[in-house]
Each structure stands twice: as C-alpha cells, then as structure tokens.
Amino acid sequence: MKYLKTYTLLILMFSSVYAESQVISSFEYHLGFEDLSFLTENENIDHNSIKNWSTTATDGQIEVWVDGTNNETASEGNYFVELNANEQSALYFDIKNRAYDVMHLTFDHRARDLGGYDIIEVFVGGANEVLESAGIFSSDNNGWKNYKLEVPIKTTDELLRVRFEAIETVSGDPTIGNFLDNIQFKLKESDVDRDNMDIRIYPVPFGDFVKVDLPANNQLYSVSVIDLQGKTILVHYSKQNLSLDMSGFNAGFYVLLVKDKHNNTILKKKVSKF
C-alpha cells in the first residue's frame, strides 16, 4: 500500500472495459500487468480496472508497483503487484473450463523486505467450489524466484479459478509484502492422452454424438462413458471406430475410458456435452 493517488476518470473508463470480460477463454495465457501504462507511480487500483484479475480484499483494491520505485524492479515489463495491499488478501483469475486435465502454471514471487521470507499459498479449483491447495511458496528479497507447477484439474465447474493468497510477510505487517509478477498458464491433456494419439475423440465438446477413432491394429477395445457420480452409463466393445449416441444424456461433463483386451486403461479423458 502506502502510495495513494486518484486516477478517477481513467479507473472508471478501464473498469467499464474489463468488468464484463474478466474470464479468460484461452487455454494458454500470459497474465502480466502491462495494461496499466497510465500509471507513473505506485497506486492502489480497483480490481475491475485490471484486466483478468480480481481480489478478495474488502476494498476491492490491488496494489500496483511501477518498475524502479524505491529500487524495486519488476520481474518483467514495467509493472508488478503486491499481494499485501491495504490488508492481507488474495488475488485470483478465472478461466473457462474446457475439460482439460492438467494446468502448467508458472509465476514469479519475491519478498519485499530483507531479513526473512514472504509466504504465499496457491489454490486451484472450481470457482464455485472449495479450492484445493497447489502448494505453499516462500521467497526472500534476493531477486525474483520463479516457480513452475503442474496441477491436475479435478473440477467440472464451468469456471476454473487460480488464487494467490498471502500467508506471511517478513515484517509481519499485513499491508506490506509478497510481490507477484509474470504469471503464465497452459491447459493440457494428461500425459496418458498425449501418449495415445492413435485414439482420437471428437468433436469436443460434442452434441448428440461423440466419435472415437481407435488404433487400426484389429484389437478389441472397450469404450466406456462415466458420469460425474462415477456410474458407467455406456459401454461399447469394438475393433473399429465408433460413434457413441449421447442424445439421451444431459449436457455436462463425462469421462471417456478406453481399455485394451487385457483391461489396461490406455486413455481416460474428460469430455463435455453441450
């Protein structure tokens, strides 16, 4: 916190642009803070004026730092944020959930003060569910520390949320600490899916029918569809490509499971029906 100046007109203008488009629809994205080029000094900004980002702070403010202020440098570009603004809080962003299995998440973190560690916890999960911890991370003031995570996506919620929560600061002051910058993510299929590219499932999402192309090796495969309660609702055995009739089932998420003749799972994929 500590640097207050009002850019009322600009904040209102940017709020109107971003308030309705905070959800990220891309499967790969680089979240920086470089859209705030109107700032020339550190400022607390309403979260609706910062593209893609929201805060749990009761005042809705996100503290943005300008590169070089007080000899503090950004990890990239000209702007970065401090999690501990007017209070100890969290920053988060939401992604449209498109039935991917894994998130590769990277971010840069640094303590503000010397003499110890600032600590954050990262949470990932459905925006309308209780988020699961993806880890606790501590950094000192000796340069930015880059973290790389591979997080399984377990939720079937329409929105996938990533939250960075301040846990502790060197000073103990809830308004000082935990610099954050250079956040990137990529949503991917699981390794088992990528290792079995001979099996193709399309279209995704699907309507009344979903097609499954099987390996052309004349072997018998079982193809099962499982609902969110873990109940198998459809099973087919085939040596050839299939077209599964899903017209009698509700829209939503399902798991498609392919096993070989030895009952080994060779593909397990989350799919969605519109």
pLDDT, tens digit (0-9, with 9 covering 90-100), for 158-168: 889 999 999 99
The Cα–Cα gap between 193 and 178 comes to 37
- In the structure, what pLDDT confidence band is assigned to residue 12 with cuts at 50, 70 and 90? very low
CATH fold, domain 8-188, is Jelly Rolls (2.60.120)
| pTM over cut 0.85 | no
The two structure tokens encoding residue 61: 């403010």
CA distances, 113 to each of 77, 171, 258 (Å): 21, 7, 53
pLDDT of residue 190: 62
pLDDT of residue 100: 78
**Domain 8-188 identical in fold to domain 192-273:** no
What average pLDDT does this structure show over 258-270? 85
pLDDT of residue 216: 87
- In the structure, what pLDDT confidence band is assigned to residue 2 with cuts at 50, 70 and 90? very low
- Check pLDDT > 70 for residue 188: yes
- In the structure, what pLDDT confidence band is assigned to residue 81 with cuts at 50, 70 and 90? very high
Q: For the chain, what are the domain ranges?
A: 8-188, 192-273
* CATH class label, 192-273: mainly beta
